[in-house]
């Protein structure tokens, strides 16, 4: 697979796009990657489908939040280390400040501002965006019968409950072994070190989330599994309810889901804790992407590593498919007591998919339209 030289993109173009993505990328890491694909590959043609898939695959080989690392990779590809820092910061910071504002409101009032109606209208659009990304990326990823077999295998393993990152890496390893017919050395596992304590200082919060960011494989959802035992039972920094509310705030805001760490940091150590937790969890991503990004072209020149990337790419398409199905089950539900709204949700998803595929409408406008429909439905529900 060849990768053409990317076009010259200005820093201001990168900043504008990734600031907007940070404020409109609802739906979790797969949705973030799909939205970025629509903007970067389909609309602007800054990268090819093949190159973008390789960046996604590469993020599954290192720890850290996947969608954020893809954004950093894009910045590095287009403008080197300054571009990587710029795109990563622009994708993280708006979400950080929005999440911090909600955390302050939560600590002050004990509740989370209601955004159910907004999200209800946005979710069907996100389903369409992810489906569109899968359709456009599939021809580049599934180029042979064996890669189709890896796709089916990855779908089956994810449906059996295997974490997506394991399924993708497994597909990559199996495909690579088929290609080169030799065994791989076994790689040792990483383990978290445990400590005990109560509410912590900003330094303790920073080093805890720095450690998490250094060993976390997968998405922001995996982060929840990592921190639940530590924060509630071991360190006793949070109550179970506070952790659930922190997770909820991280999920209802756009952008990286790992800003759940921002909420935790604020609850535990105030504003210094919020900054420390956010900086700690994302710092390893910047370092690892900048260190590994120059290796991606070399990986393509290696028979084994090229096959590994191809296999992981097949797993990426499987993850997109599973995400579409899972999110559709949630997104196409009726709003409150209005049964007819399930039909509206289906129509939203279909119309958004048509707009993306046939007319190539910018996904940002579709998300705004979906949110507006959700607010109108809420007004109708209240009037009834």
Q: What percent of the chain has pLDDT over 90?
A: 36
Residues 6+ apart with CB under 8 A from 144: none
pLDDT value for 168: 86
Question: Per-residue confidence at 374, pLDDT binned at 50, 70, 90?
Answer: confident
Mean pLDDT of 311-321: 86
Q: What is the distance, to the nearest Å, from the Cα of residue 250 to the centroid of all Cα atoms in its chain? A: 12
Q: What does the alpha-carbon distance between residue 256 and residue 277 come to, in Å, rounded to a whole number?
A: 14
User: For residues 156 and 125, which has the higher predicted lDDT (pLDDT)?
Assistant: 156
DSSP code, position 294: T
Q: What is the pLDDT of residues 243-282, one digit of tens each?
A: 777 876 777 788 887 888 999 999 999 999 999 999 999 9
| pLDDT at 368 exceeding the cut of 60 | yes
Would you say the pTM of this structure is higher than 0.85? no
pLDDT value for 185: 42
Q: What is the pLDDT of residues 8-38, one digit of tens each?
A: 899 999 999 999 999 888 777 888 998 899 9
| pLDDT at 192 exceeding the cut of 70 | no
DSSP code, position 335: B
Question: Per-residue confidence at 64, pLDDT binned at 50, 70, 90?
Answer: confident
Closest by CA to 55, choosing from 44, 66, 42, 39, is: 66
pLDDT value for 332: 79
Mean pLDDT of 59-87: 93
Question: Per-residue confidence at 82, pLDDT binned at 50, 70, 90?
Answer: very high
Q: What does the alpha-carbon distance between residue 154 and residue 243 come to, in Å, rounded to a whole number?
A: 32
Q: What does the alpha-carbon distance between residue 338 and residue 381 come to, in Å, rounded to a whole number?
A: 7
Closest by CA to 259, choosing from 55, 67, 20, is: 67
User: In which residue are the tokens 């509740």 written?
Assistant: 111
User: For residues 52 and 62, which has the higher predicted lDDT (pLDDT)?
Assistant: 52
| pLDDT at 84 exceeding the cut of 90 | yes
Q: CB–CB of 103/267 below 8 Å?
A: yes
Strand partners, 338: 335
pLDDT value for 189: 32
pLDDT value for 222: 59
Contacts within 8 Å (CB) and 24+ apart, 13-21: 14/75, 14/78, 14/79, 14/83, 14/86, 14/87, 14/90, 15/86, 15/90, 17/44, 18/71, 18/75, 18/86, 18/87, 18/90, 18/91, 19/90, 19/94, 20/364, 21/71, 21/91, 21/255
Sign of CA dihedral 97, 102, 105, 108: negative
| pLDDT at 365 exceeding the cut of 80 | yes
Strand partners, 65: 218
Tokens of 6: 């990317």
Sign of CA dihedral 150, 154, 155, 157: positive
Closest by CA to 197, choosing from 167, 169, 231, is: 231
Contacts within 8 Å (CB) and 24+ apart, 136-139: 136/37, 136/41, 136/42, 136/49, 137/37, 137/49, 137/52, 137/53, 137/316, 137/317, 137/320, 138/317, 139/49
């Amino acid at each position: 697979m060849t990768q053409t030289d990317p076009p010259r993109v200005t820093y201001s173009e990168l900043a504008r796009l990734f600031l907007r993505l940070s404020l409109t990328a609802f739906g979790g890491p797969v949705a973030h990657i799909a939205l970025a694909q629509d903007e970067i590959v389909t609309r602007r043609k800054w990268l090819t489908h093949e190159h973008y898939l390789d960046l996604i695959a590469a993020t599954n080989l290192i720890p850290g939040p996947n969608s954020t690392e893809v954004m950093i990779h894009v910045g590095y590809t287009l403008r080197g280390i300054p571009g990587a820092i710029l795109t990563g910061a622009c994708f993280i910071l708006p979400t950080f400040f929005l999440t911090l504002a909600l955390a302050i409101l939560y600590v002050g009032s004990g509740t989370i501002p209601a955004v159910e109606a907004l999200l209800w209208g946005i979710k069907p659009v996100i389903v369409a965006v992810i489906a569109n990304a899968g359709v456009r990326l599939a021809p580049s990823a599934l180029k042979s019968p064996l890669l189709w077999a890896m796709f089916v295998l990855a779908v089956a393993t994810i449906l059996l409950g295997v974490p997506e990152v394991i399924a993708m890496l497994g597909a990559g390893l199996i495909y690579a072994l088929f290609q080169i017919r030799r065994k791989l050395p076994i790689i040792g596992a990483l383990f978290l070190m445990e400590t005990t304590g109560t509410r912590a200082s900003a330094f303790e919060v920073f080093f805890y989330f720095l450690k998490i960011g250094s060993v976390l494989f997968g998405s922001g959802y995996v982060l929840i599994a990592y921190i639940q035992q530590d924060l509630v039972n071991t360190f006793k920094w949070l109550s179970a309810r506070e952790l659930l509310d922190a997770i909820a705030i991280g999920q209802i805001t756009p952008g990286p889901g790992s800003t759940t760490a921002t909420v935790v940091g604020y609850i535990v150590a105030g504003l210094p804790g919020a900054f420390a937790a956010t900086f700690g969890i994302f710092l390893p991503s910047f370092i690892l992407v900048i260190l590994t990004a120059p290796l991606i072209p070399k990986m393509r020149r290696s028979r084994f590593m090229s096959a590994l990337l191809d296999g992981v790419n097949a797993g990426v398409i499987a993850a997109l498919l599973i995400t579409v199905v899972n999110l559709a089950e949630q997104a196409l539900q009726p709003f409150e007591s209005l049964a007819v709204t399930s039909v509206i949700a289906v129509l939203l998803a279909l119309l958004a998919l048509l707009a993306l595929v046939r007319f190539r409408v910018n996904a940002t406008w579709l998300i705004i339209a979906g949110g507006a429909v959700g607010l109108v439905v809420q007004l109708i529900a209240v009037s009834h």
